[in-house]
Structure 1
């Protein structure tokens, strides 16, 4: 999908505003990711040079090692800026760098042996670092974001081991799911293409039921950003699921067993759908039905959240239903062809006397006029 299409879809889903929140544990690369996205996505598309300079000055600072860089929530830029992707496609963009959740081994939680106190936009007095992380994540996602991008790491970006991040990751995922907002996870790694990194990403996907993208955020490319946003779009809610049944099944009476079976299978499958991503599961479930020949995804409109699926039935069911409803022995297309020819002859003969038969029913007798053929 080309860049303008992604942004057009996001604009449609969010009302033209892209407000991205970046929660996660400390020392995972949240600020680095924001900086790269600003440099690649936002700054080049700000037309006003003064706004561009202001936004550049507000880029977050990031550093290596164990020392915490972000000590309070920060809006980047401080006020949302309008970017122009192409003519007629303008978006307002703002990102929020969250205070990270506490991780054992990181430095900066304490000040002279006491819990470090930080200030947030939501509480007047200074509060402990960890409390700021929890309140900030909830506030950022619920009140200031249309989309969450959680940032985790495999531990390769610093000298804090992977296991130290696990508790903080669970808390982040919990807060994000409680918010009911769409979100994905970026797994920051120095070697995102390694097999063990990809396996870790898959493991986290299975554990949390959310997309996990292994990336080196310090070397993020424009294509990576497009991929992040595209994956995020599939986390938005489904607004409509259209399922096209085979036309001949739609001609059956609503209480006929085969039509009931198809409609029940569809209802059961789509009852589990909440996100656009869930459509894949619907297709898989319907495809496993013994009566179904093929299930095809015809369309996914990421901008509106609507999808269209088409189903086809196994051919043998068509002839079984015909035989059941007509009483004719129909074993294939050759039988159907023979009966159609015979029935057409019978119908032509019936049409000659149909009016007379109707008169018989109405008044007790009827007249049939001969035709030229007679």
Structure 2
């Protein structure tokens, strides 16, 4: 495990590398030193074999690369001797598109020369360059090196784990929209795994995010997972907005859930009837088991035969849609004034048909005048008529309608 979020299996492959100017061992008494390779039948010069083998390993047998160069302090060769081979190796790795990092091998890795060179190489090639003493490096340094190398993998997928209650919000809700905008803004700059950790820290700086947790990084899959959390205060704020009830803590939430649960239970009884009355004009609420009242059995006699009469009663609720209409007839004065008012209403109707109902007349909008007219008609049915209607419906249900004659006086 390189870190809590990053685990891997590693197989290291060593390569001879590219020859640097002034290096020895490539020539013998007869000229270029010839060697055999696993990839070619005939011997080839050692210098050529070194490059050929190194290129084969990184192209066909590796997923990440580590380029080892130096500041010139580890051998008698000056820094300039390494620059040509260094540039060719790094350029070829970049063209391959495989992740890699650079080690600046130095006897004094914390010295100014090594640190400055590492910074220059990192800026030039846009990859991590780490100064270190390869001969004396310890496990923590190796782990940091592997971590940097793995973090160079391209990122293909970032899973953002939002609080479950946030995911239940509609897409146009202000909090859900702010989460979406924040995530899109931050991940736009994430191209490699090394960018994920700074992105997670950046997401944690938003005021509506309580914590931003980097859960995992999978270099082999190019994926990462980040969890975002919210404060309880924000949870209660959103609940208050959605419900229309003030919720400041769990105590309010428990009481409100109890009330809403009772209301939901009662509504479910009439929900289907409400849908039917909107669609067909008539809705029926059937009695539930708890609504049935069983009378005491009664002994009855027919001639010489006896029986038992069992009676049960239950309330049923009938919803009837009655369309009511209302007219508004404002008087404005003379005929000319009336014509001007009609022309004004017609122009407003063309601009916005709904806006005409907001037109002010004598201190009230047309909408308020129509609503008052409709409301007055709702109370026109007298109580005795309501009772007669209920008695009539009860008789029809229990005895049948046969022929029904309704006379309105």
TM-score range, shorter chain: 0.5 to 0.7
Match status 1:364 vs 2:283: yes
Between the two proteins, the alignment pairs up a number of residues equal to 281
- Alignment of 1:186 with 2:100, yes or no, is no
Residue in structure 2 matching 1:295, options 212, 217, 234: 212
Kindly name which structure, 1 or 2, has the bigger radius of gyration based on alpha carbons: 2
Alignment of 1:282-361 (within 5 A): 282-301=199-218, 306-313=223-230, 317-319=234-236, 321-326=238-243, 328=244, 330=246, 333-334=248-249, 337-338=251-252, 341-342=255-256, 344-345=258-259, 347-349=261-263, 351-352=265-266, 354-356=268-270, 358-359=272-273, 361=275
Kept after mapping to 2: 8 A contact 1:117/1:128: yes
Gaps of 5+ in 2: 277-281, 293-409
| Per-residue deviation, residues 131-169 of structure 1 (Å, max 9, x unmatched) | 777655543321343432211112222344435544543
Query: Whole-Å Cα distance in 2 between the matches of residues 227 and 356 of structure 1?
Result: 66
1:245 aligns with 2:244: no
Q: Secondary structure at the match of 2:118?
A: helix
5+ long unaligned stretches in structure 1: 12-17, 21-94
Per-residue deviation, 1:178: 1.3
Task: Report the CA distance shift for 1:207/1:120 in structure 2 as closer, same or farther (over 3 A).
Answer: farther
Matched-pair contact (CA < 8 Å) for 2:16–2:54: no
More strand by percentage: 1
Alignment partners' CA distance in 1, 2:173 and 2:68: 52
- How far residue 316 of structure 1 moved from its aligned partner, in angstroms, is 6.0
Distance 1:288 1:349 in 2: 41
1:194-233 equivalences in 2 (<5 Å): 194=111, 197-221=114-138, 224-225=141-142, 227-233=144-150
Contact 1:201/1:212, CA 8 A, preserved across alignment: yes
Once the two structures are TM-superposed, the CA of residue 252 in structure 1 deviates from its matched residue by: 0.6
User: Cα offset for 1:234?
Assistant: 3.3
TM-score (norm: length of structure 1):
0.58
Q: Partner of 1:309: helix, strand, or coil?
A: strand
Which string of whole-angstrom CA distances, capped at 9 and with x for unpartnered residues, describes residues 214-253 of structure 1?
Answer: 2222334566555544543333455653221122210112
Deviation string, structure 1 residues 37-58 (Cα, Å, up to 9, x no partner): xxxxxxxxxxxxxxxxxxxxxx
Aligned to 2:361: none
Task: Name the structure 1 match of 2:17.
Answer: 98
Query: For the aligned residues, what is the CA RMSD?
Result: 4.4
